[in-house]
Amino acid sequence: MERLAEDLNVCSRRGLSERFDSTIGAGTVLMPFGGKHQMTPIQAMVQKISLEQKHTDDCSLMAWGYDPVLTTESPYHGAYSAVVESVSKLVATGASFEDVYLTFQEYFPKPGRDPRRWGLPFAALLGAFRAQMDLGIGAIGGKDSMSGTFENLDVPPTLVSFAVTTEKARRILSNEFKGADHRAVLLSPEYDENGLPEKGSLLALYDRVSDLIHSGKALAAYTPERGGAAAAVMKMAFGNGLGFRFAPEVPLEALLADKPGRFLLEVTEPVEGALTLGETTEAFAFVRGDEALDGPALQSVYEDRLEGVYPCNIPTVPGPVETFRFSAHEHPRARFQAARPRVLIPVFPGTNCEYDSAKAVRDAGGEPVVLVLNNLTPAGIVASTDRFAKALQNAQMVFIPGGFSGGDEPDGSGKFITAFFRNERIKDGITDLLDHRDGLMCGICNGFQALIKLGLVPYGRIMETDESCPTLTYNLIHRHQSRIVRTRIASNKSPWLSLMDVGDVVNVPISHGEGRFVADEALIRQLAENGQIATQYVDLEGRATVDVRFNPNGSLYAIEGITSPDGRVFGKMGHSERIGHGLYQNVPGNYDNRMFEAAVRYFR
């Protein structure tokens, strides 16, 4: 099992994957890694169909299949199995086997004039042809690249199958083990004399697995891939930190066999005709007969294999940390009421969260006013400034959405936005909104970076910042981080957080490269006393922490969000706008901090 865990083709890819934004669009049904520890890799990507304003439960699924070792041995078997693997992953994730479509990626050594080299893609395509005919599904697109040769070295014959289908989000099943003392069973199709699944049996198995999933009998499902059922058990267990006791009678070969089209299910009731592999345990350890492997140790092996290349578990830098608490006694309302407050949402070149932000505002009863800044020509900039200044006069709130304004260049985020807000007309408009019209302002992620670099948080006004001001800088891990974090409401002084209680813990997707809050100790103390530290990153016990697993950027005092002195300007890193029904099913928790609703109520 340890050997498996450190196999390059089995080990964790978390450090690689988490630098990719996985939640933008507020449609992510399954996070790339599931369980409360976010450690179980999903097998199919599931996203809601992206609708600009409306809501839907319909989602798309996509999964891939390919094994380089098998395809090198036999391109025919490899291609056939790739198709089966990609489809099985969809089925294991809760999709019914109907309306599945494929697209292929072929990558082969340059064939030249050698008939044997021509035989590689030829055999692979025959395998893929048979798989399509047997399953009754087709590859409706593909890409071929036939130049995988460098001098005397060739790429392995490669045919990656991508399978795509649609399903309702409520029918999706995540693949991490859900609880202790559950049984894990393996269902296999019949295999023919060539070691490939017999088609009738495979199709029947697809239906059966779907039934078990949709009737609620299966609590988690996984189709074993590299590393067989043993690797599957390990990955399924890591997510929620559960252990596993293997049934002693199951031979090792059955656990390690690498055959396409099998399913490992977590169940509470016996399943007829299935091989019981063992059961989940509360104790985080993997036991087979007399052998026992410590869970954390195995997990380190699994995660450390690529840590040097793709870091994710950087050592914690010890620093002072404290869980802050500031409860507001009352929440003032705006003097100027609005039934449907207008929220001005500027779109800068590189902004990419405006759709999600506008939707969150609209859903909460506000009226989003999205304004695109045209920077094509000097005249375009002047005209945009003019439009923005006018729109600002009619708005109750300004919301600066996330993104990468100016590509986070030159060497630092938010500079593009701050340059815009430092324009005299805009600056005056903001001052008017905040000082004379009881307006609200918020910035998330890139918007927060802009607010802090303008001085709007924590000072409540646009100013020239100097060395003594707090800022947000590069994550300690020195790369982009995208995952779910837990944040605790440290102060509900802000009108944006008036519907929350201090101590409430909210899950929130983060996605940023520069989220490390820094300020000097005295200022942090002062902010805490004044209730300006709004939210903090906390661990599973709800304690503020500098541990990178929970505090993704190394923020001082685990600070996630801060406000202006009276709380009306609010900046935070976590994407609280990326919420919606049926999202993040494999990382359970409350995702709604009700900030948009609270802001709208402030004007009513």
Partner 1 sequence: MVYRIFVEKKPAFDQEAEALRRELTDFLGVASLTGLRVLNRYDAEGISKDLFDQAVRTVFSEPQVDTATETPDLKGGAVFAVEYLPGQFDQRADSAAQCIQLISQGERPLIRSARVYVLYGDLTENEIAEIRRYVVNPVEAREASLQKPETLRVEYAVPTEVKTLTGFRELDREGLTAFVRGYGLAMDTDDIAFCQQYFADEGRDPTITEIRMIDTYWSDHCRHTTFLTEIDGVTFDDELLQKAYESYLDVRRELHRTKPVCLMDMATIAVRYLKAHGKLDKLDESEEINACTVKMEVEADGKKEPWLLLFKNETHNHPTEIEPFGGAATCIGGAIRDPLSGRSYVYGAMRVTGAADPTRPVSETIPGKLPQRKLVTTAAAGYSSYGNQIGLATGIVDEIYHPGYAAKRMEIGAVIAAAPAENVRRERPEPGDVVILLGGSTGRDGIGGATGSSKAHTAHSVETCGAEVQKGNAPEERKLQRLFRNPAACRMIKRCNDFGAGGVSVAIGELSANPRSAWRWRWRRRTCPPSWPSPRRRTCRPAPWPGSRRSLGWSWRGTGRRSWTSAGRSWIPTARPSIYASRPAAPPIRKRPWSAGSGRTWSAWPRT
- Contact pick of 317, 410, 501, 522 for partner 1 (by CB under 8 A): 410
Told to check if 416 binds partner 1 by CB under 8 A, we report yes
Examine residue 467 and tell whether it contacts partner 1 (CB under 8 A): yes
Q: How far apart are CA 260 and CA 225, in angstroms?
A: 7
Q: Which of 227, 218, 282, 221 is nearest to 42 (CA)?
A: 221
501 binds partner 1 (CB under 8 A): no
Partner residues linked to 101 by β-bridges: 164
**Where are the alpha helices (H) located in 239-277, listed in sequence order?**
252-256
Give phi and psi for 601, each to the nearest 5: -60, -30
Query: Which residues in 278-317 contact partner 1 (CB under 8 A)?
Result: 305-306, 308-310
Residue 525 vs residues 179, 501, 530: alpha-carbon distances, Å: 42, 21, 9
Region binding partner 1 by CB under 8 A among candidate stretches 211-219, 324-332, 479-487, 492-500: 479-487
Least separation in angstroms between CB 333 and partner 1 = 31
Q: Does 191 participate in binding partner 1 (rule CB under 8 A)?
A: no
530 binds partner 1 (CB under 8 A): no
Question: What is the CB neighbour count within 10 angstroms for residue 273?
Answer: 9
Question: How far apart are the C-alpha atoms of 3 and 456, rounded to whole Å?
Answer: 53
Nearest distance in Å: CB 313, partner 1: 16
275 binds partner 1 (CB under 8 A): no
Burial, 422: exposed, middle or buried (Cβ in 10 Å; 0-12, 13-18, 19+)?
A: middle
409 binds partner 1 (CB under 8 A): yes
Whole-number Cα distances in Å, 601 to 173, 247, 322: 36, 57, 31
Please say which residue, 482 or 507, places its beta carbon nearer to partner 1: 482
> Does 422 engage in binding with partner 1 (CB under 8 A)?
yes
Residue 370 phi, psi dihedral angles, 5° rounding: -90, 125
Neighbours of 336 (CB within 10 A): 12
CB 453 within 8 A of CB 419: no
For partner 1, which stretch binds (CB under 8 A), given 155-163, 234-242, 325-333, 534-542? 155-163
- What is the rounded distance in angstroms from the CA atom of residue 214 to the CA atom of residue 290? 37
**C-alpha to C-alpha distance for 65 and 195, rounded to whole angstroms:** 17
- Restricting to residues 192-251, which ones interact with partner 1 according to CB under 8 A? 194
Cα gap 414→180, rounded to integer Å:
46
- Name which of 130 and 525 has its Cβ closer to partner 1: 130
CB of 338 vs partner 1, minimal distance in Å = 25
Q: Which is nearer to partner 1, 458 or 567 (CB)?
A: 458
> Across 374-458, where does the E strand assignment appear?
397-400, 440-444
Q: Which of residues 340-359 bind partner 1 (CB under 8 A)?
A: 347, 349-350, 352-353
- Residues 209, 214, 215, 216, CA torsion sign: positive
Cβ distance to partner 1 smaller for residue 62 or 247:
62
Nearest distance, CB of residue 116 and partner 1, angstroms: 10
- Of 121 and 261, the one with the shorter C-beta distance to partner 1 is 121
Q: Which of residues 533-592 bind partner 1 (CB under 8 A)?
A: none
Instruction: Provide the token pair at 430.
Output: 């903001």
**Residue 344 β-bridge partners:** 369, 398
In terms of DSSP bridges, do strands 243-246 and 285-288 run parallel, antiparallel, or are they unpaired?
parallel
Question: How far apart are CB 139 and partner 1 at their closest, in Å?
Answer: 7
Is residue 471 near partner 1 by the rule CB under 8 A? yes
Question: Which range binds partner 1 by CB under 8 A, 206-214, 268-276, 410-418, 435-443?
Answer: 410-418
Q: Which of 466, 501, 522, 541 binds partner 1 (CB under 8 A)?
A: 466
Q: Which two tokens stand for residue 122?
A: 């030829």
Among residues 2, 73, 114, 145, the one that binds partner 1 under rule CB under 8 A: 145
Task: Output the smallest distance, CB 3 to partner 1, in A.
Answer: 15
Q: Which is nearer to partner 1, 39 or 500 (CB)?
A: 39
Q: Of 157-165, 277-285, 320-328, 538-546, which segment contacts partner 1 by CB under 8 A?
A: 157-165
Instruction: Scan residues 90-109 and list those touching partner 1 (CB under 8 A).
Output: 99, 101, 103-107, 109
Distances 314 to 39, 238, 304, 309, 317 between C-alpha atoms, Å: 16, 19, 11, 12, 9
**Distance between CA 572 and CA 550 in Å, rounded?**
16
- C-beta of 17 vs 300, nearer to partner 1: 17
Q: How far is the CB of 461 from partner 1 (least distance, A)?
A: 16
Indicate whether 522 belongs to the interface with partner 1 (CB under 8 A): no
The residue within the footprint of partner 1, chosen from 4, 5, 21, 345 (CB under 8 A), is 21
Residue 463 in the binding site for partner 1 (CB under 8 A): no
Q: Which is nearer to partner 1, 495 or 574 (CB)?
A: 574
Residue 385 lies near partner 1 (rule: CB under 8 A): yes
The residue (of 493 and 578) whose beta carbon lies closer to partner 1 is 578
CA 325 to chain CA centroid, Å, is: 29
- Residues 28-47 touching partner 1, rule: CB under 8 A, are 28, 30, 32, 41-42, 44-47
Residue selected from 148, 365, 503, 588 as contacting partner 1 according to rule CB under 8 A: 148
- The CA distance from 21 to 509, in Å, is 9
Beta bridge partners of residue 519, listed in sequence order? none
Q: Is 404 in the site for partner 1 (CB under 8 A)?
A: yes
State the Cα–Cα distance between residues 368 and 355, nearest whole angstrom: 10
Q: What backbone torsions phi and psi does residue 567 show, to the nearest 5 degrees?
A: 90, -5
Non-local (6+) Cβ contacts of 517 within 8 A are: 470, 471, 472, 553, 555, 556, 557, 559, 560, 562, 573
110 binds partner 1 per the rule CB under 8 A? yes
Contact with partner 1 (CB under 8 A) among 2, 73, 114, 150: 150
Question: Residues 6 or more apart from 390 whose CB is under 8 A from it?
Answer: none
Q: Which is nearer to partner 1, 77 or 493 (CB)?
A: 77
The residue count for binding partner 1 (CB under 8 A) is 139
